[in-house]
């Protein structure tokens, strides 16, 4: 009896200690896995930045077989950046991307704010039916309707114009849904008070409603900007004027320069248009993630 009790007494602390070591080792293991996952996900983009500092010949010769030189620019050079911003005139493509992105952001903000507010707060016949119909459009991706969208844009006479780059996507169900949800979260009393003071709908929208949804507007601007910045497929199809071509397409064209490997400039261009964007998305993660998750609820 007493031996059993003493055995139990001596066993208890040992078991607790082993549980503690197990917890500790689980945390250590978890930390290792977390850091490994981070490295795996960061690797391709980081490697592009490393490659951008290597001469094209070094990129091709260093990566195989594996050595320290595969991961680190042992003979760093800025010649790729000089090529990209010199003879390739990549800054012109970046300017075109900025034009298209600005157009898309401005149109998306105007369209989504107006429609979002009307669907959230105003009463008019057919409101809910129209809203549900518009949301259905979120199942239609540009990849699916590329061919008919091209015919329509061509028929409108917009082929190879700046407007064609952003017009078809500037107004999308995601933005309308996001703004509608945000307007609905404003307490109705705020607007009621203004209405009793004699303010009309437009005054209420601009002086009360919009100032209360600025975080949602930031989300909308950020997401639309990233979408416009990253667009590739539609510009490939609709923009046949190389002088107005956007950066993503100009970059991909470097892959197939006839008889001349352009790996160095390609990675320099990729770094220029990716690293700032990615850093922006990481720092504005709160808005970015909010936008992504509501684009899923659309």
Q: Which of residues 232-251 bind another protein (CB under 8 A)?
A: 232-233, 236-237, 248-249, 251
| Cα distances (Å, whole numbers) of residue 159 to 1, 113, 162 | 93, 28, 9
CB of 41 to another protein, least distance (A): 4
**If binding is defined by CB under 8 A, does position 208 make contact with another protein?**
no
Give the range of 81-89, 181-189, 206-214, 270-278 binding another protein by CB under 8 A.
270-278
- Tokens 């075109």 appear where? 96
Whether residue 131 contacts residue 251, with contact meaning beta carbons closer than 8 Å, is answered with: no
**If binding is defined by CB under 8 A, does position 143 make contact with another protein?**
yes
**If binding is defined by CB under 8 A, does position 140 make contact with another protein?**
yes
Residues listed for the chain: 298
The smaller minimum CB distance to another protein, of residues 6 and 33, is found at 33
CA 228 – CA 102 distance, rounded (Å): 9
**If binding is defined by CB under 8 A, does position 266 make contact with another protein?**
yes
**If binding is defined by CB under 8 A, does position 123 make contact with another protein?**
yes
Whether residue 234 contacts residue 222, with contact meaning beta carbons closer than 8 Å, is answered with: no
**If binding is defined by CB under 8 A, does position 55 make contact with another protein?**
no
**If binding is defined by CB under 8 A, does position 42 make contact with another protein?**
yes
- Tokens 């996507």 appear where? 169
DSSP 55: -
CA 23 – CA 150 distance, rounded (Å): 58
- Three-state SS at 132: helix
Q: Which of 112, 219, 224, 245 binds another protein (CB under 8 A)?
A: 112
**If binding is defined by CB under 8 A, does position 260 make contact with another protein?**
no
Write out the binding residues for another protein, residues 181-200 only, by CB under 8 A.
Answer: 200
**If binding is defined by CB under 8 A, does position 130 make contact with another protein?**
yes
């Amino acid at each position: 009896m007493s031996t059993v009790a003493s055995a139990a007494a001596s066993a208890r602390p040992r078991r607790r200690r082993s549980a503690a070591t197990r917890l500790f080792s689980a945390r250590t293991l978890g930390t290792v896995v977390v850091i490994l996952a981070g490295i795996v996900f960061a690797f391709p983009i980081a490697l592009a930045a490393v490659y951008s500092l290597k001469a094209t010949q070094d990129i091709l010769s260093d990566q195989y077989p594996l050595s320290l030189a595969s991961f680190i620019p042992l003979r760093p050079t800025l010649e790729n950046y000089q090529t990209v911003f010199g003879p390739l005139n990549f800054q012109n493509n970046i300017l075109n991307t900025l034009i298209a992105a600005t157009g898309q952001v401005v149109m998306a903000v105007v369209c989504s704010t107006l429609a979002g507010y009307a669907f959230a707060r105003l009463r008019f016949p057919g409101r809910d039916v129209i809203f549900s119909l518009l949301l259905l459009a979120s199942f239609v991706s540009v990849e699916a309707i590329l061919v008919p969208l091209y015919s329509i844009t061509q028929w409108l006479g917009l082929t190879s114009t700046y407007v064609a780059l952003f017009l078809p996507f500037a107004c999308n169900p995601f933005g309308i849904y996001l703004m509608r949800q945000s307007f609905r979260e404003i307490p109705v009393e705020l607007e009621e008070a203004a209405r009793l003071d004699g303010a009309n709908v437009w005054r209420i929208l601009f002086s009360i409603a919009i100032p209360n949804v600025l975080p949602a507007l930031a989300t909308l601007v950020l997401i639309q900007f990233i979408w416009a910045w990253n667009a590739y497929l539609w510009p490939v199809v609709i923009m046949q004027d190389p002088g107005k071509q956007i950066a993503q397409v100009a970059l991909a064209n470097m892959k197939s320069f006839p008889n001349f490997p352009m790996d160095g400039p390609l990675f320099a261009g990729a770094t220029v248009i990716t690293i700032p964007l990615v850093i922006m998305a990481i720092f504005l993660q709160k808005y970015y993630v909010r936008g992504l998750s509501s684009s899923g609820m659309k």
